[in-house]
Amino acid sequence: MENKKVLILCTGNSCRSIIGEAVLNAYLDGVDAYSSGVKASGKVNPNAKKVLQEEGIWKDEYHSKKIDKVLDIKFDLVVTVCDNAKESCPIFPKDVKVIHVGYEDPDGKNYSAFTKTLKLIKMELTPIVRMELGL
């Protein structure tokens, strides 16, 4: 059976959405997670990369990208993780469920904000996505 495809959408695609993509790919069987930004920064925040490396789930393929790079993928679920992305979320086909699970932006904060974001995404987002996809 083919894996379910999930898009984690944020504004800059440098912290929260990259962490969400990595967490879902590492801890949810049957899911291929992707991330993008409505106004992608083009870079991964070094602390986001570091927290994922320490968790042992960083992959070099993770990078900041604009939404047009993933629009040709048929997603089963789209998750916005910041209020701005929720408000400016592009229109997806009717059969794609779009949900919002917001997280505070750790960008510009100390490293502990990134570890907190990782923990929250791992504890909250993973079971929500599992339930939404019926896994």
Choose, from 26, 89, 96, 98, the residue flagged as catalytic: 89
The CA-based dihedral angle spanning residues 104, 111, 107, 119, taken in that order and rounded to the nearest 10 degrees: -30
Q: Is 15 among the catalytic positions?
A: no
Q: Is 10 among the catalytic positions?
A: yes
Q: Is 89 among the catalytic positions?
A: yes
Closest CA to 22 of 47, 71, 73, 56: 56
Choose, from 7, 8, 10, 81, the residue flagged as catalytic: 10
Q: Token pair for residue 41?
A: 């920064």
Residue 129 contacts residue 100 (beta carbons within 8 Å): no
Choose, from 8, 18, 23, 82, the residue flagged as catalytic: 82
Active site residues: 10, 82, 89
